Amino acid sequence: MTTTDPTLSQTDPAEAPPTSGAGTGTRGTRVIGVATIVAMGWLVAFGLGFSPEDRDQRERVRLLYVHVPTIWIAYLAFIVTAVASAVYFFGKKSLGWDRLAGASAEIGTAFVAVTLVIGAMWGRLTWGVFWQWDARLTTTALLFVTYVGYLAVRRLGGTHEQRARRSAVIGMLAVLEIPLVHWSVRLWRSLHQEATVLGTDGDVSMDGLMLFSLLVGVIAFTLLYVWLVMHRTRVMAMEDLLDDRGLDDALAARRAEAGPGEVAREGSGAL
């Protein structure tokens, strides 16, 4: 669906994605979508079925097949955000990179939330408490809040270019913040050894089938991430397009303010 309307934004035409219908699906997303479903099916089969229970954790270990992939993918998502932010800021200012950064951050934040929730469930079953201030959980919580802040900055309004520049700077600053947070929290927690009986990590020595299940989990969630990012960036492109159309309408209304008689004088506009 392309358009020949000449009044559309000249700086970065937010073209409608090449979809075949009213939604944001294309052949690419359908392929990935099917692959995701298949992979998720495998994950359910192996995670819930084929893989054995853990010696110490018994059935609870199955939560980790979701919990661990989600945090890895979240980190991947945030790296994508940082890279896309840098490409936008230092490169050609193409808004597609900004949309990628934003979509990836949204999905990454959602994945971190899932990680925290599942981690809390695991913790409740294992330690009897939903939360512990160990290094990993604390940094994950701070990671979550940091990107909630990034998403809040994206919503501050203004033109698309303004949003993109602001978000790109904040996105790149997050790359500065996260390592510092990691370092300080690790140092903090290593000095205060409050290890519980089972250790504060969720790590168990995994072997064979369990590792394979984990790998399936990583693949399944990566595919899910890609599928979500593709759709989300396209929806964002359409939202931007809608904004531009809104601007066209607003421009037309504004020009009409002047009244029909003014049009006749346009020819003498510039001296």
Partner 1 sequence: MSVVELDDAVAVLGQFPALAGATLRVEEGEIVLLRGPNGAGKTTLLRLCAGLVPLVRGTGAVLGLDLATHRESIRRTVGLLGHQNGLYLDLTVAENVRFWGSTVGASDGEMQSAMQRLDVAGRLAGVSVSKLSAGQKRRTALACLIARRAQLWLLDEPHAGLDASARDELDETLRQAAASGATMLVASHELERAGSLATRTVDVVGGRVHAVIDDVDPRDPGSGNPPAAGVAT
Partner 2 sequence: MSALRIARFVAAKDLRIEWNSRVFVNQVLPFAGVTMVIFAFALDADSVLQRVAPGLVWLATMFSMLVLVQRAFAVETADGALDALRVAGVDPRAIYLGKAAALGVQLVVLEVVLLFAAVVLYGQTIPAGGWVLLVTTLISATCGLAAVGTLYGGLAAGFTGRETLLPLLTFPAVAPVLIGATRAVEAALGTAGAVVSDGWPWVGLLAVFAVAFGVGGALAFGPLIDE
Instruction: Considering only residues 152 through 191, tell me which ones interact with partner 1, judged by CB under 8 A.
Output: 157-159, 161-162
Amino acid identity for residue 209 in this structure: L
Q: What is the spatial distance between Cα 107 and Cα 147, in angstroms, rounded to a whole number?
A: 10
Residues 6+ apart with CB under 8 A from 185: 135, 138, 139, 142
77 binds, among partner 2, partner 1, none (CB under 5 to 8 A by kind): none
12 binds, among partner 2, partner 1, none (CB under 5 to 8 A by kind): none
- Report in angstroms how near the CB of residue 215 gets to partner 2 at its nearest: 32
CB-CB neighbours of 121 under 10 Å: 14
Residue 270 engages partner 1 in binding (rule: CB under 8 A): yes
**Nearest alpha carbon to residue 21 among 247, 238, 245, 249:** 238
Residues 80/104, Cβ–Cβ less than 8 Å:
yes
The residue (of 12 and 161) whose beta carbon lies closer to partner 2 is 161
Q: Which of 3, 11, 20, 196 binds partner 1 (CB under 8 A)?
A: 11
Residue 4 engages partner 1 in binding (rule: CB under 8 A): no
Return the H-helix or E-strand segment holding 221.
helix 208-257
Return residues touching partner 2 (CB under 8 A): 89, 142, 145-146, 148-149, 152-153, 156-158, 162, 165-166, 169-170, 172-173, 176-177, 180-181, 183-185, 187-188, 191
Tokens at residue 80, please? Answer: 């994508």
Q: Which residues bind partner 1 (CB under 8 A)?
A: 7, 9-11, 157-159, 161-162, 243, 246-247, 250-251, 254-266, 268-271
